[in-house]
Every structure is written in structure tokens, then in C-alpha cells.
């Protein structure tokens, strides 16, 4: 039976982890490679890096981080943030990323998914959708961390990226992100019910119960979380044992 995945996400800025894990054993709380290794040793099913570096000059650093992480972590590694061109994808994959997550570039031009999945295979193309609720059961795609409205309906957009060859959707609720009040389960349901590719839930996790809701109520194939793991509130193992105790199948 296919297991539900738990994916810790590390925000990286100028080569440093922004919200680091508060582990005593950690030598350097800002080192993404060391943190990724802790997650992978702790049973993470995948690791996700989100590069939030603003300037182009420092973007090279993520390549080095990916290269060094891939030499030590033997679980899938997804990298997103600022991926705009085929060359960006090539660079990340060559450095050792297994999947690349693309966002704004797809909103601007949906053919980019087609081009990327044709060139590299759907298995490594994740489309990140940032959505905000605009009315009852209606969500709109936003870009630039929720600042820019696009006028595109999130459900229609999800179907479109699937048709164009996306392998997975990483769905973030901009209303919930950072609130620790749980995923937007209605949004998740709307997207998982209208697409046939795996959906990774993101944005809003504050408790282990929220992970359960994302999978069981929202229909997500994987759950992504940042702060509950970063600040050491829970370990990956805690999350898995909790889900397992509630009959959600995970890799233990």
C-alpha cells in the first residue's frame, strides 16, 4: 500500500536556513545541509528546499546547497523558489535535486510546464499553486508570496497544469500559511477531487491533527510542514507515530 508522505520544508535565504530547527545537537542552526540530514535520518519521506533569496546574485548558493545535500541525503529532494527557465531546472537537477517546483513562471505561461515535463519527465515537475479564498468555495491563484492577484481560478488552473504534464501539485493556502490553524481543507478537497495527480498540502500546520486532516479530510497524498518541525515541537517520528495511531498509513 502506498504510504502518505511527510515532507519537512526548509526555507533558505542567501544560503542559510531562515527558520532553523532548535535542536541542541545542531552545530550550526543555519546550515541547510545539516538540517536536511537530520530530517532524512529522522525518517522524512522527502526533503523540500524553498529558496527565498531575493537577489539574483545569491541564487548560485542554492545550487551548492543542493549539491552538498544530495551527497548525504538519499531520499527525494525537491527544490523550489525562483525557478523560471529550463536552464534553472537543468542546473538544479544536475546538482542533485530530484524534483523542481515551479510557480510564477507557470502562472505567466502554462506552456512552461509542458516544455519542462517533456524535457525532464513529469516525475520531476512539481507545480506550486498559492491560492487565496475569494468567496465561498472559490479560490484564486496568487503569485509573489500572496501579494499579486492573478484572476485565475485555482481549480481550473490545477486541472490545466495536470493536462500540461505536471507530476504533482504543491498546494499552499495563502490564508492559512503561517497561522498554525490548520490546512484549508475545503481548498484541498476542491483540488484533490478535480485532479488525478498527487497533491501535497501546505500552509497552516500547527498540530499533528492538522496533518491528519490534510490527508484524511483533504485527500492530500503528502503533507508539507515547516515550523512545527523547525522549532522542535515535533519530530518527524512523532508525526508518523501519531498518524499511524489514527490508522493513516505512513512509512515507519
Contact 217, 189 (CB under 8 A): yes
Does 197 participate in binding other proteins (rule CB under 8 A)? yes
Considering beta carbons, is residue 66 or 208 the nearer one to other proteins?
A: 66
Minimum distance between the CB of residue 111 and other proteins, rounded to whole angstroms?
18
For residues 175 and 186, what is the distance between their CA atoms, to the nearest angstrom? 12
Determine the Cα–Cα distance for residues 30 and 37; give it in Å rounded to an integer: 13
Site for other proteins contains 198 (CB under 8 A) = yes
Q: How far is the CB of 143 from other proteins (least distance, A)?
A: 25
With CB under 8 A as the contact rule, the residue among 61, 122, 207, 227 that binds other proteins is 122
- Candidate list 91, 130, 184, 213, residue with the active-site label: 130
Does residue 123 interact with other proteins by CB under 8 A?
yes
Q: Is 186 among the catalytic positions?
A: no
Query: Under rule CB under 8 A, how many of the chain's residues touch other proteins?
Result: 31
- Is 237 a binding residue for other proteins by CB under 8 A? The answer is no
From 41, 10, 71, select the one nearest 236 (Cα to Cα): 41
Residue 10 sits in the site that holds other proteins (CB under 8 A)? no
Indicate whether 5 belongs to the interface with other proteins (CB under 8 A): yes
Q: Mask: binding to other proteins, 139-168, rule CB under 8 A, as x and -?
A: ----------------------------xx
Binds other proteins (CB under 8 A): choice among 94, 156, 245, 246: 94
Q: Which three cell numbers stand for residue 189?
A: 478537497
Considering the complex, what minimum distance in angstroms separates the CB of residue 108 from other proteins? 25
Catalytic-residue membership of 156: no
Binding string to other proteins for residues 23 to 42, with x set by CB under 8 A, is what?
-----------------x--
Give catalytic residue positions: 11, 130
List residues near other proteins by CB under 8 A: 1-5, 40, 45, 70-71, 74-76, 93-98, 120-124, 167-168, 196-198, 221-222, 251
Amino acid at each position: 500500500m502506498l504510504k502518505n508522505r511527510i515532507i519537512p520544508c526548509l526555507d533558505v535565504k542567501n544560503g542559510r536556513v531562515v527558520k532553523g530547527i532548535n535542536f541542541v545537537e545542531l552545530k550550526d542552526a543555519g546550515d541547510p545541509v545539516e538540517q536536511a540530514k537530520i530530517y532524512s535520518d529522522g525518517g522524512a519521506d522527502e526533503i523540500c528546499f524553498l529558496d527565498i533569496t531575493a537577489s539574483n546574485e545569491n541564487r548560485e548558493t542554492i545550487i551548492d546547497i543542493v549539491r552538498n545535500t544530495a551527497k548525504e541525503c538519499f531520499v527525494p529532494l525537491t527544490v523550489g523558489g525562483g525557478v523560471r527557465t529550463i536552464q534553472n531546472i537543468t542546473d538544479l537537477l544536475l546538482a542533485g535535486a530530484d524534483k523542481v517546483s515551479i510557480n510564477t513562471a507557470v502562472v505567466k505561461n502554462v506552456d512552461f510546464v509542458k516544455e519542462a515535463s517533456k524535457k525532464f519527465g513529469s516525475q520531476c515537475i512539481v507545480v506550486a499553486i498559492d491560492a487565496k479564498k475569494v468567496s465561498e468555495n472559490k479560490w484564486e491563484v496568487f503569485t509573489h508570496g500572496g501579494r499579486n492577484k492573478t484572476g485565475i481560478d485555482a481549480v481550473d488552473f490545477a486541472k490545466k497544469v495536470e493536462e500540461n504534464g505536471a507530476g504533482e501539485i504543491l498546494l499552499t493556502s495563502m490564508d492559512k500559511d503561517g497561522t498554525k490553524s490548520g490546512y484549508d481543507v475545503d481548498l484541498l478537497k476542491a483540488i484533490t477531487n478535480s485532479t488525478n495527480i498527487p497533491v501535497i498540502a501546505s500552509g497552516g500546520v500547527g498540530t499533528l491533527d492538522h496533518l491528519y486532516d490534510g490527508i484524511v479530510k483533504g485527500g492530500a497524498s503528502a503533507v508539507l510542514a515547516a515550523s512545527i518541525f523547525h522549532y522542535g515541537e515535533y519530530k518527524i517520528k512523532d508525526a508518523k507515530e501519531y498518524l499511524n495511531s489514527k490508522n493513516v498509513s505512513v512509512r515507519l
